[in-house]
């Protein structure tokens, strides 16, 4: 799986020169799906204003939109079609990417399962949309769909017989299709909300420039290759040559090439397999759950606000201490990322006694992190000594170690309290600190990079202290295969601090909790 992940990252790297890490579309697939959904909704509303729900009127109004107002109605129709196709592409890539990176098991099973259900809703809505045009393609889809469902022992009379004669399809049938085409997207929106419900600060809108570029690309495609109808549906004829939308209608030829039962087995089996993935590929061992230490917690709610997966709730304290609230960790949602540790004001390495944070990972205690940091700093030699704090999910910073470079890796860079930067620089034990994590906008735990950047910029608590000079701190967001990027950031930091005078940061005697 690691080799597959690295191959996928190299594919994503191809887009960085053109887009940059912050705008690389691979890192915003979920948000792009949301954006395309709203493009489909807005264009669909415009089309529905002119749409008439009748057997003859449906086809005629779609043709009128396409040909009588080609630069408005025609573009809106094409935009509706291509944005719908884009949802399928982005959705399948998003699912494949999540699978390759292992983002489906444990606390993420809920998002994976609801995502699989969303696939069905997207396909039902898209296929239903082709029926509403009521041209020869819609006729083929209607007959093939009913023949497919007739294989199931659910109906007393074959559904396909309703499409054997021209008079069998009534205006009421088109009205039903219209209702379904409104109801299913509303249901999709509900499921999209449920899909992201467990995620704190979920990205539901891509960066503005990426959204604008996506919209412009869809508009250009709509003008160059407008969506067109086939001839009007005629139940007395069997459609011959058809232009299939392979994004939505790829399984339909299999109904006749194989059999309806075989297609049911393929679709149903694949769906059940996808639903079972979180348990079939469940990793061995238990994930260590963050533990709250009430005696060192002041109820500040930072861990609650910073948790990427809403695994922390604030409850009223019952122990008589002066603080009103106490965090409670839901073990089913905890990702063991340690971001809550980095958010806690009691995660202070300067404390000489009682080195216990308000919340900690049982296998990554703050006391052990300080001891490892001290050991690494004591071994540094040279004129441009650098302490590197990295992330287990990103480039392995331990490969940078040398006489002048010491490196420690954490479950997520968001676990690092900013005070450890100050701690590393005090008494000139290190001349600079390199903070390394996952690729920008692609944090394994979603918010580790964002919170770290805001803490270093002194925009989010706990803030990096004002006395720490910015020129002695460097950040690098690099994935496992991005060795050149990591070494370039290290070299840039060493070159910069080599030009600076040695500065001592003495212990200022902070022995107890800050911001209580």
Q: What is the dihedral of CA 303, 447, 116, 26, to 10 degrees?
A: 180
Question: Mind listing the pLDDT tens digit for each residue in 238-261?
Answer: 888 899 999 999 999 999 999 999
Sheet holding 405-410, edge to edge: 405-410, 386-391, 432-437, 473-477
Question: Mind listing the pLDDT tens digit for each residue in 73-87?
Answer: 999 999 999 999 999
Task: Report the alpha-carbon distance of residue 299 to residue 315 in Å, rounded.
Answer: 9
Task: Report the alpha-carbon distance of residue 514 to residue 466 in Å, rounded.
Answer: 15
Backbone angles phi, psi at 202, to 5 degrees: -65, 140
Rounded to an integer, the average pLDDT of 345-349 is 91
Give the model's confidence band at 510: pLDDT under 50 very low, under 70 low, under 90 confident, else very high.
Answer: very low
Whether the CB-CB separation of 413 and 390 falls below 8 Å is answered with yes
Residue 112 has pLDDT above 50, yes or no: yes
Q: How far is CA 342 from CA 10, 213, 256, 291, 327, in A?
A: 30, 36, 59, 14, 15
Q: What domains are there in the chain, each with its CATH number?
A: 24-280 (1.20.810.10), 291-497 (no CATH)
Residue 285 has pLDDT above 90, yes or no: no
Question: Mind listing the pLDDT tens digit for each residue in 136-188?
Answer: 999 999 999 999 999 999 888 888 888 877 778 889 999 999 999 999 999 99
Spatial CA neighbour of 233 closest among 139, 117, 92, 325: 139
Residue 354 has pLDDT above 70, yes or no: no
pTM equals 0.90
Give the pLDDT confidence score for residue 512 in this predicted structure: 39
Spatial CA neighbour of 115 closest among 55, 198, 52, 230: 198
Residue in the structure block whose two tokens are 């089996």: 269
Task: Report the alpha-carbon distance of residue 90 to residue 28 in Å, rounded.
Answer: 10
Question: Mind listing the pLDDT tens digit for each residue in 179-221?
Answer: 999 999 999 999 999 999 888 889 999 999 999 999 999 999 9
Task: Report the alpha-carbon distance of residue 307 to residue 425 in Å, rounded.
Answer: 28
Task: Report the alpha-carbon distance of residue 210 to residue 24 in Å, rounded.
Answer: 8
Q: How far is CA 111 from CA 198, 343, 369, 470, in A?
A: 8, 25, 32, 39
Rg (CA), the chain: 29
Give the model's confidence band at 365: pLDDT under 50 very low, under 70 low, under 90 confident, else very high.
Answer: very high
Task: Report the alpha-carbon distance of residue 324 to residue 359 in Å, rounded.
Answer: 17
Give the pLDDT confidence score for residue 27 in this predicted structure: 95
């Amino acid at each position: 799986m690691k080799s597959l992940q690295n191959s996928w990252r190299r594919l994503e790297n191809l887009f960085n020169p053109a887009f940059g890490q912050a705008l690389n579309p691979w890192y915003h697939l979920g948000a792009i799906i949301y954006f395309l959904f709203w493009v489909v909704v807005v264009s669909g509303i415009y089309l529905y204003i002119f749409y008439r729900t009748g057997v003859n009127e449906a086809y005629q109004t779609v043709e009128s939109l396409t040909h009588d107002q080609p630069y408005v109605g025609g573009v809106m129709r094409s935009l509706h079609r291509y944005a719908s196709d884009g949802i399928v592409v982005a959705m399948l890539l998003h699912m494949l990417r999540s699978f390759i990176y292992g983002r489906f098991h444990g606390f993420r099973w809920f998002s994976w399962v609801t995502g699989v259900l969303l696939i069905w809703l997207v396909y039902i809505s898209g296929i239903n949309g082709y029926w509403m045009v009521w041209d020869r393609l819609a006729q083929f889809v209607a007959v093939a769909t009913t023949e497919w469902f007739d294989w199931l022992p659910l109906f007393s009379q074959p559904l396909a017989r309703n499409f054997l004669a021209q008079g069998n399809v009534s205006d009421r049938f088109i009205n039903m299709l219209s209702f379904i085409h409104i109801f299913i997207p509303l249901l999709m929106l509900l499921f999209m909300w449920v899909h992201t419900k467990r995620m704190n600060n979920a990205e539901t809108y891509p960066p503005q420039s990426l959204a604008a570029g996506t919209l412009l690309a869809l508009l250009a495609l709509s003008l160059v290759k407008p969506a067109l109808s086939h001839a009007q549906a005629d139940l007395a004829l069997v459609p011959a040559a058809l232009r299939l939308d392979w994004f939505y209608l790829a399984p339909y030829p299999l109904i006749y090439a194989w059999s309806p039962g075989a297609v049911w087995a393929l679709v149903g089996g694949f769906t059940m397999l996808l639903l079972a993935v979180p348990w079939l590929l469940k990793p061995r061992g238990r994930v260590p759950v963050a533990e709250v230490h009430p005696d060192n917690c002041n109820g500040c709610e930072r861990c609650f606000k910073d948790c990427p997966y809403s695994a922390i709730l604030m409850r009223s304290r019952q122990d008589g201490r002066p603080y009103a609230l106490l965090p409670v960790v839901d073990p089913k949602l905890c990702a063991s990322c340690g971001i809550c540790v980095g958010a806690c004001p009691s995660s202070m390495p300067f404390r000489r006694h009682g080195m216990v944070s308000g919340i900690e990972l049982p296998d990554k205690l703050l006391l052990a992190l300080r001891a490892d940091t001290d050991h690494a700093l004591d071994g540094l030699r040279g004129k441009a000594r650098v302490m590197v704090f990295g992330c287990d999910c990103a480039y392995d910073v331990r490969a940078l170690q040398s006489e002048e470079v010491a490196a420690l890796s954490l479950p997520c860079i968001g676990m690092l309290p900013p005070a450890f930067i100050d701690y590393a620089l005090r008494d000139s034990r290190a001349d600079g600190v390199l903070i390394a994590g996952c690729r920008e906008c692609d944090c394994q735990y979603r918010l580790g990079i964002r919170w770290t950047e805001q803490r270093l910029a002194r925009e989010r608590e706990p803030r990096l202290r004002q006395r720490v000079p910015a020129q002695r701190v460097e950040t690098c967001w690099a994935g496992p295969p991005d060795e050149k990027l990591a070494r370039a950031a290290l070299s840039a930091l060493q070159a910069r601090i080599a030009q600076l005078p040695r500065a001592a940061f003495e212990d200022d005697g902070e022995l107890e909790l800050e911001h209580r």
